[in-house]
Amino acid sequence: MEEPRKKEEEKIIRSLNFIEEIIENDIRNGVNDSRVHTRFPPEPNGYLHIGHAKSICLNFGLSKKYNGKTNLRFDDTNPVKEEVEYVDSIMEDVKWLGFDWEDRLFYASDYFEQLYGYAVILIRKGKAFVCDMTAEEISETRGTPTRPGKESPFRHRSVEENIDLFARMRAGEFPDGSRVLRAKIDLTSPNMHMRDPVLYRILHTHHHRTGNQWCIYPMYDFAHGQSDSIERITHSICTLEFEVHRPLYDWFIHEIGIYAPRQIEFARLNMTYTVMSKRKLLELVRDGNVTGWDDPRMPTICGLRRRGYTPESIRNFAETIGVAKRDNIIDVSLLEFCIREDLNKRANRLMAVLDPVKIVIDNYPEELVEEMEAVNNPEDETKGKRKLPFTKTIFIERDDFMEDPPNKFFRLAPGREVRLKAAYIIKCEHVVKDPKTGEIEEIHCTYDPLTKSGMPESNRKVKGTLHWVSEKYAIKTEVRLYDRLFVMENPDEAEEGKTYLDYLNPDSLKIVTAMIEPAVKNAQILEKYQFERIGYFSVDHDSTAQNLVFNRVVSLKDSWSKVEKVK
């Protein structure tokens, strides 16, 4: 009877995504001597986000799976936008995600000389020319997707003149924008990228690596494919929008006569309740809608890290969403599931009360302090136990008490009994309210001394278990309750007259002062805890020994709020 099930399981494990299928096919056919070599090629002009994480996991994952290699290469062909700050953050993020490019850190700028040589080859073959038109003129004569373009009047310059002009461009004889080098392909091509694309432009700009060595820079299209070729990349994996560029890359490779990698395109990641474009993320930072690239509400890797996400959870997320070519928008709740799943197993529990209300246990001795024993992680016995002090006056969560509860409410209410986690069963006797506001100031209870955790009597059934913290021993800490940055599933689809910024969630951050059990004082930056019955929290780097700061990573799954909603 076990046979069919086993078979089923194997099948699931073996099911390949379309890229793996291509690779396995290539390996089988001995393509590139069955070598697998990928690369992650970011432009250092911004911070990496969860979409890049998908690509990183894909590229490094593939080489790991097939015993290959993955390079990290910065496509730094536009010095006006690129900065070392970004290079550093990208390397940090890739490392943090758990990947290693070993000694294969490259830059497209490493290849500038070689690329220049390739351009000269094209010129000599009569396949490239120097064009003196302005950017506007070039754009106007390019035509539209449905209308062919017009030839440049400079298209038929002699090879000698082109060689000379291109050399003088390099030598710095011409001002920015005065001339470009263009490929000579086909102005009537239905593929816009084939209409004599620009190969080199003049930019008298300092480059973060080559300094002032160059004043002409290759366009991305002229650098990317050849860089992959130079690095002997076997499978150049990129996102869908470069599909249209592929014929151009193939043309370059063929005309120059160099090794041809195989480009495979996949659909980029989109996620609900967030934006993913670098431009929009930059705007959020610049306009102060978030505190920075690493604001815990940002979908950036550094933002997720600060929020409290673990590399494992992100890798697992990337694995779970899969790879395909169709457009997709992944529900953030899947990301949230991944971090809960991870933290449930790893995070120690703590009692923290975010919105405290005082409980006085009338029959508990005034000065008595009992050391209660609590399990650190019920999912992992090796995490051990800790002590926490119990006293006559404690705090519980304000919404764990209702004066007039519905019968589905399992928590504290007048005349009802409830268990205090790792302590006693208490019964609510009466409440004390502020005569003016009507707000509850104290809830008076009695405890049953025979029901201390672990005692035989403690097995008595009560409907609910509450977390609590001793008034006397609690530590005040700052807790930042983060929520989704946008209120709309897809902020990119703003209605007429609105932009994504009109859908910012005004409640994406609430700061509260919480009372937490004393064990919290050992918390280290980035350490994760589960606040019992509330959610997962991570220590922010703003935290100090005197003033602890926690970020809410994600709340616990809450089926009670669903019950409430149904009403």
Partner RNA sequence: UGUCCGAUGGUGUAACUGGCAACACAAAUGAUUCUGGAUCAUUAGAGUCUAGGUUCGACCCCUAGUCGGACAACCA
State which of positions 152-181 bind RNA (CB under 7 A).
176-180
CB closer to RNA out of 69 and 340: 340
The closest alpha carbon to 312, from 528, 479, 101, 508, belongs to 528
Q: Which of positions 74-113 make contact with RNA (CB under 7 A)?
A: 75, 77-78, 81
Q: Which of 321, 352, 353, 481 binds RNA (CB under 7 A)?
A: 321
Q: Is 278 a catalytic residue?
A: yes
Identify residues 18-37 at the interface with RNA (CB under 7 A). Answer: 18, 21
Q: Which of 210, 237, 205, 211 is nearest to 224 (CA)?
A: 237
Nearest to 119 by CA among 226, 206, 211: 226
333 makes contact with RNA (CB under 7 A): yes
Stretch that binds RNA, among 14-22, 26-34, 59-67, 162-170 (CB under 7 A): 14-22
Residue with smaller CB distance to RNA, 238 or 302: 238
562 is catalytic: no
198 forms part of the interface with RNA (CB under 7 A):
yes
The yes or no reply on residue 552 touching RNA (CB under 7 A) is no
* Binders of RNA in range 438-477 (CB under 7 A): 452-454, 458-459, 464-465, 467
Binding mask 257-286 for RNA (x = CB under 7 A): ----------x-------------------
Nearer to RNA, 182 or 306 (CB): 182
Q: Determine contact, residues 18/325, Cβ cutoff 8 Å.
A: yes
What is the DSSP code (8-state) at residue 330?
B
How near is the Cβ of 546 to RNA at its closest, in Å?
A: 28
Cα 373–chain centre separation: 38
Tokens 């940002």 locate to: 298
Establish if 329 lies at the interface with RNA (CB under 7 A): yes
Give min distance, CB of 291 to RNA, in A.
26
Of residues 35, 421, 444, 484, which one binds RNA by CB under 7 A? 421
Catalytic annotation, pick one of 64, 170, 278, 358? 278
- Using only C-alpha atoms, the chain has a radius of gyration, in whole angstroms, of 31
The strand pair at 198-202 and 216-218 is best described as: antiparallel
Tokens of 448: 């049953």
Parallel, antiparallel or unpaired: strands 105-107 and 69-74: parallel
**Does the protein bind RNA through residue 151 (CB under 7 A)?**
no
| Cβ atoms of residues 109 and 210 within 8 Å | yes
Q: Buried b vs exposed e over 299-319: b needs ≥16 C-beta within 10 Å?
A: bbbbbbbbbbbbbbbbbbbbe
Of the listed pieces 291-299, 304-312, 381-389, 525-533, which binds RNA according to CB under 7 A? 525-533
Beta carbon nearer to RNA, 188 or 547: 188
CB atoms within 10 A of CB 221: 19
Residues between 219 and 258 with contacts to RNA, criterion CB under 7 A? 219-221, 224, 240-245
Q: Note whether 363 binds RNA by CB under 7 A.
A: no
51 Cβ contact partners less than 8 Å away, ≥ 6 residues apart: 268, 269, 270, 276, 299
Length of the chain: 567
Q: How far is the CB of 391 from RNA (least distance, A)?
A: 17
**476: which 2 tokens?**
């005040």
Angstrom distance (rounded) from CA 403 to CA 413 = 6
Residues 485-514 that bind RNA (CB under 7 A): none
Q: Which helix (H) or strand (E) holds 344?
A: helix 332-346
The contacts of residue 48 (CB under 8 Å, 6+ apart) are 42, 56, 89, 90, 93, 94, 300, 301, 302
Q: Can residue 533 be called a binding residue for RNA (CB under 7 A)?
A: yes
Least gap, CB of 134 to RNA (angstroms) = 5
Q: Is the dihedral of CA 165, 169, 174, 175 positive or negative?
A: positive
- Closer by beta carbon to RNA, 123 or else 216: 216
> Which region among 112-120, 184-192, 289-297, 305-313 touches RNA (by CB under 7 A)?
184-192
Q: How far is the CB of 287 from RNA (least distance, A)?
A: 19
Least Å from the CB of residue 217 to RNA: 6
- Find out whether 309 and 303 touch, Cβ atoms under 8 Å: no
Shortest approach of RNA to residue 131 CB, angstroms? 7
Question: How many residues interact with RNA (rule CB under 7 A)?
Answer: 95
Residue carrying structure tokens 């059934």: 461
- Which entry of 39, 43, 69, 397 is annotated as an active-site residue? 43
Among 91, 163, 192, 258, the residue binding RNA under the rule CB under 7 A is 192
Using the structure block, give the residue that is written with the tokens 């504290």: 412
The reply on whether position 142 binds RNA by CB under 7 A is yes
Query: What are 145's two structure tokens?
Result: 């997707």
Q: What is the closest distance, in whole angstroms, from the C-beta atom of residue 56 to RNA in the complex? A: 15
- The question of whether 43 is a catalytic residue gets the answer yes
- Which CB, 75 or 540, lies closer to RNA? 75
When the beta carbons of 291 and 337 are compared against RNA, the nearer one is 337
Judged by DSSP in three states, 480 sits in strand
- As measured in angstroms, the least distance from the Cβ of 415 to RNA is 16
CB distance 167 to 44 below 8 Å: no
Active-site residues, by number, are 43, 268, 278
